[in-house]
């Protein structure tokens, strides 16, 4: 049960990081090149300005469900660690 809790705690965070970091690196590279990053198309646009939007605003369901799973995993770990073990 502890393994399930740890997986639920760690996997959603890793998933969010795996999606967020490459996007932010692309946006930073685009800004350094003098362009504007289009988050809708995931492209660097050198001609037009695009509004900046947060990762949370674009992926609300993904972020909220991932954090909910992480909290669930935390409580599963907490319950598993603080239940008394039966001795034979």
Q: Averaged over 4-9, what is the pLDDT?
A: 92
CB 35 within 8 A of CB 44: yes
Backbone angles phi, psi at 61, to 5 degrees: -65, -40
Provide the mean pLDDT of the chain.
91
Residue 7's pLDDT band, with cuts at 50, 70 and 90, is: very high
pLDDT (average), residues 2-24: 93
User: Which structure tokens are listed for 77?
Assistant: 């770990």
Beta bridge partners of 70: none
CA separation for the pair 27, 38 (Å, rounded): 8
């Amino acid at each position: 049960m502890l393994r399930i809790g740890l997986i639920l705690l760690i996997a959603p965070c890793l998933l969010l990081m795996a999606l967020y970091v490459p996007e932010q690196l692309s946006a930073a590279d685009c800004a350094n090149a003098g362009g504007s990053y289009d988050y809708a198309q995931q492209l660097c646009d050198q001609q037009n300005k695009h509004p900046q939007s947060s990762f949370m605003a674009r992926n609300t369901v993904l972020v909220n469900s991932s954090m909910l799973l992480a909290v669930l995993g935390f409580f599963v770990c907490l319950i598993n660690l603080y239940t008394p073990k039966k001795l034979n």
